[in-house]
Amino acid sequence: IPSAVVMAGASHFKSASHNLSVTAVTFRRAYLNGRKPPGWSSLPLPLHLHLHLIGPRVTPTLRLVASASSSSSSSSSSPSSYAICTVEPAAPHSTLLEVKKSRFIANVVPCEDDMDKAMHTVQSIKAQYADARHNCFAVVTRSGVHRMSDDGEPSGTAGKPILNAILGSGMVNCVVVVTRYYGGIKLGTGGLARAYGGAAVEALAQTERKEVVAMTTAKVMCAYDDVGVVYRVAGTFEGVVEMTTDEEIASKGEASLSVQVSASRAGDFAQALCDSTAGRAHVELN
């Protein structure tokens, strides 16, 4: 599963003749095999996104919300604002599905964009159901890394259906563990796949969701006299500033800072900081 790193090709949108509101432009996996999403060419503004796909198959859902307005009598307009978001579980959720006396308990748990921490979450859930023979799971992180396990079930009958359920939900940073308590009746490979996938789909559908704005890190190098300016400009962009240690930069008598800022506003932040310091500050965007 690839990650999709969305970078704004322009720092803002401008339109002199349109009053528009573009919402919920969703890039789903079916549209990301080298094709532009439906309706892309009809958007009445220069919307340029570069999707960098890492991996051969599917991509977590991204949601772009943009709006811009202008007066047709004016030759210029204000920049629009937009945010690039992912959808993630807001809280843990659990459901129970019974199929031919077998019980399938599906647990959906949010996780960080870190597979090691996600696997710790998986192990914690498995420990709660240590008496069960099968604790099958799938994990999808925001960066597109995924992992799954059939945990002793026939290959492809558990982990893959759970993974497909997560991908179908559009959620990332998501752990789903489906625990099976055998009821004495064999379900067959098709029945198992439907049961594991169905339990995961039901749990995900009932899980509360939240939108998380994608963030990026800006590395700032500036004179110590300009550190206050960095904090002030970062504040206007709701950025989080942290002083960092860089011996090479310090040897030049300069300060090094790390600024966490919304990915969609990173270019504007860099430009504003350069303007505020008359070009003295140097900004590198990851």
Give residue 267's pLDDT.
87
Same domain, 74 and 23: yes
The pair of three-digit structure tokens given for residue 156, joined into one six-digit string: 């492809």
Q: How confident is the model at residue 80 (pLDDT cuts 50, 70, 90)?
A: very low
127 has pLDDT over 90:
yes
83 has pLDDT over 70:
no
Check residues 3 and 124 and name the one with the higher pLDDT. 124
Range picked from 160-169, 210-219, 248-257 for highest mean pLDDT: 160-169
Same domain, 133 and 236: no
Same domain, 16 and 77: yes
The C-alpha atoms of residue 220 and residue 257 are separated, in whole angstroms, by 5
Check residues 82 and 210 and name the one with the higher pLDDT. 210
Mean model confidence pLDDT for the chain: 75
Which of 211, 226, 242 is the last residue in one of the domains?
Answer: 211
Which of 175, 195, 211 is the last residue in one of the domains?
Answer: 211
Which of 4-8, 113-117, 252-256 has the lowest average pLDDT? Answer: 4-8
24 has pLDDT over 70:
no
Same domain, 68 and 134: no
54 has pLDDT over 90:
no
Same domain, 206 and 173: yes
Tell me how many domains the chain contains.
3
State how far the alpha carbon of 176 is from the alpha carbons of 180, 200, 249, in Å: 13, 7, 45
Average pLDDT over residues 136-144: 91
Which of 146, 181, 211 is the last residue in one of the domains?
Answer: 211
The C-alpha atoms of residue 25 and residue 23 are separated, in whole angstroms, by 6
Same domain, 171 and 105: yes
CATH code for position 159: 3.30.230.30
32 has pLDDT over 70:
no
Domain that holds residue 259: 214-285
Same domain, 100 and 83: no
Same domain, 199 and 107: yes
94 has pLDDT over 70:
yes
Give residue 215's pLDDT.
78
Handedness of CA 250, 255, 257, 263 (dihedral sign): negative
Same domain, 98 and 22: no
Asked if residues 60 and 163 have their Cβ atoms less than 8 Å apart, the reply is no
Three-state secondary structure of the chain:
CCCEEEEECCCCCCCCCCCEEEEEEEECHHHCCCCCCCCHHHCCCCCCEEEEECCCCCCCCEEEEEEECCCCCCCCCCCCEEEEEEEEECCCEEEEEEECCEEEEEEEEECCCCHHHHHHHHHHHHHHCCCCCEEEEEEECCCCCEEEECCCCCCCCCHHHHHHHHHHHCECCEEEEEEEECCCCCCHHHHHHHHHHHHHHHHHHHCCEEEEECEEEEEEEEEHHHHHHHHHHHHHCCCEEEEECCHHHHCCCEEEEEEEEEHHHHHHHHHHHHHHCCCCCEEEEC
Same domain, 129 and 189: yes
Which of 10-19, 154-163, 219-228, 239-248 has the lowest average pLDDT? Answer: 10-19
Same domain, 106 and 135: yes
Give residue 84's pLDDT.
58
Same domain, 149 and 169: yes
64 has pLDDT over 90:
no
